[in-house]
Amino acid sequence: MVSKEEQNSSSSFQFEARLTQASLIKKILEAIKDLVTDANFDCSAEGLSLQAMDSSHVSLVSMVLHAQGFEMFQCQRAVSLGINLASLTKILKCAGNDDSITLRADEKGDKAEFVFESQSQDRLSEFELKLMDIDSEHLGIPDTKYSAVVEMPSSEYRRICSDLGLMGDTVRISVSKESVKFQVDGDIGKGSVCLHPSSVVDKPTEVVKISLEEPVDMIFSIRYLNNFAKAAPLSDTVTLSLSKDFPLQVEFKFGEQMGYLRYYLAPKID
Amino acid sequence: MGVKGLWELVAPVGRRVSMDTVANKTLAIDVSIWLTQFLYAMRDSEGELIRNAHLLGILRRCCKLIFYNVKPIFVFDGATPQLKRRTLISRQNQRNKQKLRLRRIAEKLLLNELKLKKLKENKKIESKGNEERVNPKVNPRDLYNQYMDTVLRATLERSNIETEKDTDQVDIEAVHNHNNNNSMEQLESLVEEREVEAQLSEAEEEGDEKEEDINTGVSNFSERLASSEREQYEVPDISQISTDSLSSLPPEMFETIVSEIRSRERNLHREEFIKAENDPANFSKKQLEGFLRLSQTKKEVVKARATAYSHVLHGRRRIASDPGKNYTLTKISDSTPENGRELNDDGQFCTNFRLESSIESNNSKVDEGLDCAKSTSNAENHSEFCVRHSETKNEREPVLILDRDIEGSSQADVEEDEDIEWVACPPDSNCNFVEHEWTSNVQVEWDGMEQNIRNRSSLCLDSPSSADLVKHLNEDDAEEEDFMTADIQSAIYSSLANEHCLKHEAESCAKPCESHLESTSKVDFWDKEETMNSLNSLKEDENEVFSRNVMSSKVDEALHSSPSSGNHLNTCFEEEILNEEEITETRVSRDFILPDEKLESLFQEFENERKELHQEFTHLKSGSDMITDEMCEEIRDLLRMLGIPYIQAPMEAEAQCAYFNQIGLVEGVITEDSDAFLFGARTVFRNIFEDKKYVEQYEMDDIERYLGLDREKLILLCLLLGSDYTQGIHGVGVVNATEIIRAFPSFEELKEFAQWANQLSLEEERLSLDPEDPNFVKKEFFLKHRKMKRNWVVHDSFPSKHVMDAYSYPVIDTRSIEFQCQRPNMAQLVEFCRAKFGWDSDKVKKLVVPVLKAYDAKNQSQTRIEQYFHPMRFAKIKSKRLENAVRGITMAVDEEMFLSKSKQLVEDVNSSTDEKTSNMRKRRKKNTKDRRKKYSYMENGP
């Protein structure tokens, strides 16, 4: 599975990578395209990564696909592919979920090539996408030990966010040893959802886990949390990490060693 | 401002953060820099300062701060530190120089405008082609008159600008001479010519020059015009100096100028007398004129002195609200009528125009004159005209009856001391006397609604009594000045009295004018036309020259009245243009007709030049305003209304801000002045009002950590680079300074550096470099900079302990102060904005309501991601040498800061050349552009 053909001079491409499942890329794109319009896909020997802020600079998307997660990954030099996500979505619509997808960037660096191959290898489609020059600020995300880490089913996360989103625009997330509580105080009234850590571990995907250093009580904009919920198809579980006076981290893992999609959301303050 | 080049040095550790980062922070602000910025930047397209720019700027900025929940504390500058004075003085000099330059540019602009106009006229003439009436009496002086008109107009326009901008009174007196060639041609005799020339006053002489070279003359003239502005470095003719400008000078300077004027005046007279010595009549006239001028000068000086000292007595003059914005335009034109019957006849046509704006409008002319004289020093100035017509229309009859009774008339005249213009009426000629005078209200002037217009009569005299005059003059010589003046007046009146019939006619001409005295300038204009027409009918047998003169004078009238007429301005100008066209028609200017294409190109050239000059003019003007105490007081009022606390620093506001920051009273300092770091500020926000979203944030911690520069080293840097307190070392920039600091990191060691830099020997050549040597860094430095030091100018006082201490231990207020922001007071703000900016309450609410909302809704503000995750830095160290120096000073190096390093990283990874990268970027840029136009993607199926 891991095939790093480094310094393969036979290839005329600076960067070439193949994923067996186009669906992963499609889902990732679905999960971020509402937050971010244009983004640089940074290709390096380590893998493919993306970091972008939403237009109001309240949230940050950070996606990493490790090189070992690809069927084939080859990067002669670091390139940064400036892509309009709406355009990429159009191209990816042409790929079947089970198609394999090959991404190439040549030396000129003004376009990226996408090759979709069906599982039975009887259909091959090729697309070329013009690249853009995107000035983006790269933020340094400090390594942090969060005070509270909550793991929960992503479907549960999605449901809470969409339910509470109907009530108001801000949600108060309070994490204690016993529970994690989502409270909303809106114009029509208030409401709350409280989750307790699962005592019995039946299905690993439905587990609620809380690891706590110290209790946290913070407020966030529901709109953004709802946006993050679009990544739910990527992973069965979601991890919310909170620290006082620090952005909330919402992480969706793509599976073992593949990579992750993380959202950061700046808190609201009283 | 600040330490030269320090911002450049610290830029690599600065971070661009969102405005939200500063939300909820308490920040100290040095107001003085803001004010300077406002005065410099807040200008309209003409380069004029926007009214109450300082207040508007403060209001806008405060609104922004409150909107972002910043709690600002404003700090005002206190006394000026001794060290800074020198800088301030040099800045003052700079400003003066700039004003000189401004003047020069203004002159150029004027000249250019003249040329342009001439070209336009020529075009017009050419288009008329053969229809053109060919007048054999080509008169270059007419051309010159045209030029003068333009000059006057331009001057007026400029004076408009300046009266508004510069609250000082601007007086422009244009002395303008029409010397008619026609009559000269007819008279033709040498004697006559010499006489005419002798008659010419200084301005007339200029006119002669213009005959030869119109352009040069015009430029001379415009120079003189310009020189009548406030800053006078060469002492011009007294007629070009207004009392106001004189009196606004410092007393010592005033005295110097006055004495100079006097001596010059005297010399001038002597010269004129010599010229006229062969002709007794003329000589006496010269004497008369000279005397008149001298006494005028003297009176003006006396008045000016009184005003000047009254200013001193009354303390500082209010600049912002000078009630009597005045300008005066005087035009005197002399012409020699053509039908001089006797050889010695000398016609002189004098037109004195004056436009006066005074704050009071009066109906009674006599009283008006007096009141005007009182209310504005300018008017006083003119009341000093040595020979006066004291009579108003209704008084004329008695005066005429006065006969030759010298004493009687002089008494009457002296008593009725008013500002009526005098027009010279030389004897034995058909002298045409037209006097127009307007007095208009200043405020009204700009609105153009009501004005008090005074139209002076036109008189036609034919007086035989030159001998009389001479006699009077001789008598007068012995007498006291005031009486003498009166004598001359009476003499003139007596000569006036000789011509009853003509006078009656003149009166009849004047009557229509009188009946419309209170009318607007437009109506007035027509009145004058009437006057002129009747004058023409009166003088039907007379030459065209006269009518033309009247015409042009009328043009000038319209011109002069136009600024005061505001709304009527356009109409007047239109009419003026019409008239000018007429004049143009009656004249052939063959000399000036050029081939079309050449004309076109010239036109273009001038047009471009005008644009350039205008730009420069605007630019220069923006640097010429000063901050006044009054402004600060107004700002304090505004801050109180906005609920923003402020304090007055004992000395430098910057130091006080920095101190607050040091003790943690505020979380940062908003400033554009890099001195703040030297005074000990920890967090500095810069360019907070430049961008909508971002602010540059500089942390002293970063500077210490990544640049290795602590406060002491920054001060040492400042000694090298120069600041408000010290000149620094000429030739040392940021890079060299950093290298010097690296090699000599303390004050004591800097002395060593100074010693080395002042040495002339080249012993460095012999230095051997050994990395193990403890002095390696220094030696290396010596070696590398041995050539550079020749260009460095190290002052003896370097390094100055005083400067060091001034930064290390600034005079500050160390009392513990508690600041509390208040909610902005809406009602007061509405009132304030109405008074200061003329805004209605809706406009104020539009601005303030969102601010109040933000102030009230302080809870639950959304933070931004950059507050937690630091963005990449926006600037990198570009200089390799600087990079090495920084590396040398500090151990902890953030590679992000260096351009070379990041480049290197990329280069390590890729084998491609820079060219490729740039190509790639180019192509992508193109893509981006294309995509923005219309998105499309290529599809290549198998």
Chain A residues closer than 8 Å to B942 by CB: 124-126
Confirm or reject contact between A115 and chain B (CB < 8 A). Answer: no
State which H helix or E strand residue B191 sits in: helix B190-199
Structure tokens at A76: 């002669």
Give the C-alpha separation, B297 to B306, whole Å: 14
Q: Which of B860, B864, B916 sits opposite A57 (nearest CB)?
A: B864
pLDDT at residue number A28 = 94
Confirm or reject contact between B906 and chain A (CB < 8 A). Answer: yes
User: Between residues 846 and 905 of chain B, which touch chain A (CB distance below 8 Å)?
Assistant: 859-872
- Are the beta carbons of B937 and A78 separated by less than 8 Å? no
Which chain B residue has its CA at the smallest distance from A15's CA? B910
Angle, CA of A237, A238 and A241, to the nearest 5°: 145
Chain A residues closer than 8 Å to B691 by CB: none
Average pLDDT over chain A, rounded to an integer: 88
Q: Under 8 Å CB-to-CB from B574, ≥6 apart: which residues?
A: none
Q: Under 8 Å CB-to-CB from B326, ≥6 apart: which residues?
A: B169, B171, B244, B356, B357, B358, B376, B378, B379, B442
Indicate left, alpha or beta for B855 from its phi (over 0: left) and psi (-120 to 50: alpha). Answer: alpha
Point out the domain boundary residue: B799, B822, B841. B799
- Are the beta carbons of B940 and A127 separated by less than 8 Å? yes
Point out the domain boundary residue: A130, A159, A193. A130
Q: Which of B18, B862, B920 sits opposite A268 (nearest CB)?
A: B862
Q: How are beta strands B26-30 and B668-670 bridged, if at all?
A: parallel
Which chain A residue has its CA at the smallest distance from B693's CA? A56
Question: Would residue B31 count as lying in a domain?
Answer: no
Structural domain that includes position B580: 133-587
Give the C-alpha separation, B939 to B441, whole Å: 78
Q: Are B592 and B543 in contact (CB under 8 A)?
A: no
Q: State the first-to-last Cα distance of chain A, in angstroms, to the nearest integer.
A: 50
- Is the predicted ipTM greater than 0.90, yes or no? no
Angle between helix axes B280-313 and B190-199 (nearest 10 degrees) is 10
Confirm or reject contact between A87 and chain B (CB < 8 A). Answer: yes
Chain A residues closer than 8 Å to B908 by CB: none
Q: Count up the domains in chain A and report the number.
A: 2
Give the C-alpha separation, B816 to B24, whole Å: 21
State which H helix or E strand residue B302 sits in: helix B280-313
Structural domain that includes position A104: 13-130
Question: Would residue B918 count as lying in a domain?
Answer: no
- Are the beta carbons of A130 and B869 separated by less than 8 Å? no
Which chain B residue has its CA at the smallest distance from A108's CA? B920
**B251: Cα separation from own chain's centroid:** 23
Confirm or reject contact between A82 and chain B (CB < 8 A). Answer: yes
Go through chain B and tell me how many residues it has.
942
Quote the minimal CA–CA distance from A199 to chain B in Å.
35
Question: Would residue A180 count as lying in a domain?
Answer: yes
Give the C-alpha separation, A232 to A197, whole Å: 20
Confirm or reject contact between A196 and chain B (CB < 8 A). Answer: no
Instruction: Tell me the DSSP string of B242-254.
Output: -HHHHHTS-HHHH
User: Between residues 16 and 45 of chain A, which touch chain B (CB distance below 8 Å)?
Assistant: 44
Q: Which of B861, B911, B920 sits opposite A269 (nearest CB)?
A: B861
- Are the beta carbons of A124 and B942 separated by less than 8 Å? yes
Average of per-residue pLDDT across A46-57: 89
Q: Where are the beta strands (DSSP E) in B632-691?
A: 646-648, 668-670, 683-686
Rounded to whole angstroms, what are the CA distances from B891 to A82, B717, B880? 36, 19, 17
Quote the minimal CA–CA distance from B842 to chain A in Å.
30
State which H helix or E strand residue B71 sits in: strand B71-76
Place of tokens 């003499």: B491
- Are the beta carbons of A111 and B927 separated by less than 8 Å? yes
Q: Are B365 and B513 in contact (CB under 8 A)?
A: no
Q: State the first-to-last Cα distance of chain B, in angstroms, to the nearest integer.
A: 67
Confirm or reject contact between B315 and chain A (CB < 8 A). Answer: no
Give the C-alpha separation, B767 to B754, whole Å: 18
Question: Would residue B906 count as lying in a domain?
Answer: no
State which H helix or E strand residue B696 sits in: strand B694-699
Confidence category of residue A152, pLDDT binned at 50, 70, 90: very high
Instruction: For residue range A195-223, list pLDDT tens digits in order.
Output: 999 877 777 778 899 999 999 999 999 99
Confirm or reject contact between A127 and chain B (CB < 8 A). Answer: yes
pLDDT at residue number A139 = 85
Query: Closest by alpha carbon to A27, among A221, A229, A224?
Result: A229
Q: Count up the domains in chain B and report the number.
A: 2
Give the C-alpha separation, B927 to B935, whole Å: 10
Give the C-alpha separation, B239 to B330, whole Å: 9
Point out the domain boundary residue: B587, B620, B642. B587
Point out the domain boundary residue: A68, A97, A130. A130
- Are the beta carbons of B924 and A53 separated by less than 8 Å? no
Which of A123, A169, A269 would you mutate first to test chain B, the one with the most B CBs within 10 A? A269
Chain A residues closer than 8 Å to B862 by CB: 58, 221, 266, 268
Give the C-alpha separation, B192 to B186, whole Å: 10
- Are the beta carbons of B862 and A58 separated by less than 8 Å? yes
Give the C-alpha separation, B366 to B371, whole Å: 9
Q: How are beta strands B861-862 and A268-269 bridged, if at all?
A: antiparallel
- Are the beta carbons of A266 and B864 separated by less than 8 Å? yes
Q: Are A1 and A21 in contact (CB under 8 A)?
A: no
Structure tokens at B662: 């040091």
Largest CA distance in chain B: 121
- Are the beta carbons of B872 and A138 separated by less than 8 Å? yes
Question: What backbone phi and psi angles, to 5 degrees, belong to A265?
Answer: -130, 120
Give the C-alpha separation, B207 to B204, whole Å: 5
- Are the beta carbons of A132 and B927 separated by less than 8 Å? yes
Chain A residues closer than 8 Å to B941 by CB: 125-126
Give the C-alpha separation, B560 to B149, whole Å: 10
Q: Which of A57, A133, A139 sits opposite B925 (nearest CB)?
A: A133
- Are the beta carbons of A221 and B862 separated by less than 8 Å? yes
State which H helix or E strand residue A114 sits in: strand A111-117
Q: Which of A90, A132, A140 sits opposite B870 (nearest CB)?
A: A140
Place of tokens 């069906």: A118
Do A121 and A153 sit in the same domain of this protein? no
Question: Would residue B711 count as lying in a domain?
Answer: no
Q: Which of B859, B865, B937 sits opposite A247 (nearest CB)?
A: B865
Point out the domain boundary residue: B587, B603, B625. B587
Q: Are B727 and B54 in contact (CB under 8 A)?
A: no
Which of A58, A88, A244 would you mutate first to test chain B, the one with the most B CBs within 10 A? A58
Question: Would residue B84 count as lying in a domain?
Answer: no
Question: Would residue B127 count as lying in a domain?
Answer: no
Do A35 and A120 sit in the same domain of this protein? yes
- Are the beta carbons of A78 and B909 separated by less than 8 Å? yes
Question: Would residue B166 count as lying in a domain?
Answer: yes
Give the C-alpha separation, B556 to B573, whole Å: 10
User: Between residues 52 and 81 of chain A, which touch chain B (CB distance below 8 Å)?
Assistant: 53, 56-60, 76-78
Question: Would residue A214 count as lying in a domain?
Answer: yes
pLDDT at residue number B742 = 84
Chain A residues closer than 8 Å to B867 by CB: 266
State which H helix or E strand residue B431 sits in: strand B431-441
Across the 942 residues of chain B, what is the mean pLDDT of every consecutive 10-residue run? 82 80 83 82 72 86 86 87 77 80 81 80 64 42 51 51 39 36 41 44 43 44 44 45 58 70 76 74 80 79 67 42 42 40 36 34 39 40 38 37 38 38 36 35 36 35 39 43 45 45 43 40 46 49 44 46 41 49 45 60 78 73 69 90 90 90 90 88 87 81 86 88 83 86 85 80 62 74 78 80 88 84 87 88 86 73 79 67 76 58 44 47 57 39 34
Confirm or reject contact between A91 and chain B (CB < 8 A). Answer: yes
Number of Cβ pairs < 8 A linking chain A and chain B: 120
Confirm or reject contact between A128 and chain B (CB < 8 A). Answer: yes
Go through chain A and tell me how many residues it has.
270
Structure tokens at B321: 């609200």
Burial class from Cβ neighbours inside 10 Å (0-12, 13-18, 19+) for residue B207 reads buried
SS3 call for A243: coil
CATH number for the domain spanning A252: value is 3.70.10.10
State which H helix or E strand residue B695 sits in: strand B694-699
Confidence category of residue A182, pLDDT binned at 50, 70, 90: very high
Largest CA distance in chain A: 66
pLDDT at residue number B639 = 92
Q: Are B459 and B433 in contact (CB under 8 A)?
A: yes
Give the C-alpha separation, B344 to B426, whole Å: 12
Rg of chain B over Cα atoms, rounded to whole angstroms, equals 36
Q: Are B152 and B556 in contact (CB under 8 A)?
A: yes
Question: Would residue A4 count as lying in a domain?
Answer: no
- Are the beta carbons of A219 and B931 separated by less than 8 Å? no
Do A112 and A182 sit in the same domain of this protein? no
Do A160 and A239 sit in the same domain of this protein? yes
Question: Would residue B705 count as lying in a domain?
Answer: no
Instruction: Tell me the DSSP string of A191-221.
Output: EEEEE---SS-SSGGG--EEEESS-EEEEEE
Do A37 and A108 sit in the same domain of this protein? yes
Confirm or reject contact between B939 and chain A (CB < 8 A). Answer: yes
Q: Where are the beta strands (DSSP E) in B370-416?
A: none
Query: Closest by alpha carbon to A40, among B928, B865, B904, B932?
Result: B928
Do A26 and A111 sit in the same domain of this protein? yes
User: Between residues 135 and 154 of chain A, which touch chain B (CB distance below 8 Å)?
Assistant: 137-142
**B873: Cα separation from own chain's centroid:** 42
pLDDT at residue number B802 = 85
Give the C-alpha separation, A264 to A62, whole Å: 8
Q: Are A149 and A215 in contact (CB under 8 A)?
A: no
Q: Which of A60, A90, A110 sits opposite B865 (nearest CB)?
A: A60
Give the C-alpha separation, B71 to B642, whole Å: 11
SS3 call for B231: coil
Quote the minimal CA–CA distance from A129 to chain B in Å.
6
Quote the minimal CA–CA distance from A190 to chain B in Å.
17
Quote the minimal CA–CA distance from B837 to chain A in Å.
35
Query: Closest by alpha carbon to A227, among A143, A141, A147, A169?
Result: A169
Confirm or reject contact between A166 and chain B (CB < 8 A). Answer: no
Q: Which of B861, B930, B940 sits opposite A126 (nearest CB)?
A: B940
Place of tokens 């919310």: A240
Chain B residues closer than 8 Å to A87 by CB: 931, 935, 937
- Are the beta carbons of A127 and B938 separated by less than 8 Å? yes
Q: Are B378 and B326 in contact (CB under 8 A)?
A: yes
pLDDT at residue number A124 = 93
